[in-house]
Amino acid sequence: MVYGGIGRAARNWECYDAIVDALTRLEADETLLIQSGKPVGVFKTHDNAPRVLIANSNLVPHWATWEHFNELDAKGLAMYGQMTAGSWIYIGSQGIVQGTYETFVEAGRQHYNGTLAGRWVLTAGLGGMGGAQPLAATLAGACSLTIECQQSRIDFRLRTRYVDEQAATLDDALARIAHYTRAGKAVSVALCANAADILPELVNRGVRPDLVTDQTSAHDPLHGYLPTGWRWEEYQEKALSDPQGDDAGGETFNGGACSGDAGVQ
């Protein structure tokens, strides 16, 4: 797994090892063919030909459904390549820090008299893509509160200094945000919780952030959402044992998170 739910660079570790082996032995006039994260052939081409040709998850439109794809994925016959994982051009969160920063800065120009000082961003997700947001917000001069359901993701962002602090509770997080915004400081705060639970609670409390974004994997209700009331570990176990039963759970999160996003605007 690389990012974006189940975005992968190779179908499995066996395929990964085979790809590395093929690349190691590839000649300058040969081309390696990759089909959905698996090496399927090496062809004699020429020096100016591509060294690698990749085709990911190409399905005939009639069969291009999540149900059919998940069936192929479970059988080890396909993989979801996302936008940059399967094409081997993923460079981590640094690839979107600048774009996210520019978006925040432009929001400050258009809506807050050219500055985000004393403002704060509410968002969710500290994965491969969402993890860029707290750093981008800080660079743009704003505070941020990022809700993330996996402690390991928060630990990584704290260690790499994409996030400055972690709050123990929602009350603690809001107190920190209030303190830093009053002082005009740009500090990023993480909270280990479920956005589907926290966003509606913020609406109930009448909390109004200055900017609201979201970085859940909206394309994938099975792997991209955590339904309200669930812990991450519990949901992952259920998703593996009963994937069909989780569709409704994804819809539960989707409805809660979307209504929460709308409510805090």
Domains of the chain, first to last: 1-90 (no CATH), 94-263 (3.40.50.10730)
CA-angle at 238, arms to 241 and 93, nearest 5° = 110
**29 vs 250, residue with greater confidence:** 29
Can you give the pLDDT at residue 91? 80
Share of the chain above pLDDT 90, in %: 66
What percentage of the chain exceeds 70 in pLDDT?
Answer: 86
Q: What is the pLDDT of residue 244?
A: 60
What whole-number distance in Å separates Cα of residue 114 and Cα of residue 132? 22
Q: What is d(CA 154, CA 131) in angstroms, rounded to the nearest whole number?
A: 9
> How large is the average pLDDT for residues 122-147?
94
Structure tokens at 9: 């660079």
The label of the residue with tokens 């992952």 reads: 236
Rounded to an integer, the average pLDDT of 149-158 is 95
117 vs 258, residue with greater confidence = 117
Out of 19-28, 90-99, 101-110, pick the least confident: 90-99
Q: What is the pLDDT of residues 2-18, one digit of tens each?
A: 777 788 999 999 999 99
Please tell me the least confidently modeled range out of 30-39, 104-113, 218-227.
Answer: 218-227
Nearest of 57, 22, 51, 23 to residue 37 by alpha carbon: 57
Cross-strand bridge partners of residue 43: 31
The pLDDT value recorded for residue 169 is: 98
- DSSP per-residue letters across 161-224: TSS-EEESSHHHHHHHHHHHHHHT---EEEEES-HHHHHHHHHHHT---SEE---S-TT-TTTS
Inform me whether the pLDDT recorded for 228 exceeds 60: yes
Asked if 142 and 211 touch (Cβ cutoff 8 Å), the reply is yes
Q: CA-CA distance, 6 to 217, in Å (whole number)?
A: 9
Look over the chain and give the mean of its residue pLDDT values, rounded to a whole number: 88
Q: Beta partners for 38?
A: 35
pLDDT one-digit tens code per residue, 42-84? 999 999 999 999 999 889 999 999 889 889 998 999 998 888 8
Statement: residue 231 has pLDDT above 50: yes
pTM of the model: 0.75
Residue that the structure tokens 């819809």 belong to: 251
Query: Within 10 A of 25 (CB to CB), how many other CB atoms are there?
Result: 10
Comparing 140 with 85, the larger pLDDT belongs to 140
- Say if residue 248's pLDDT is above 80: no
Q: What is the pLDDT of residue 166?
A: 99
- Tell me which of 107 and 4 has the higher pLDDT: 107
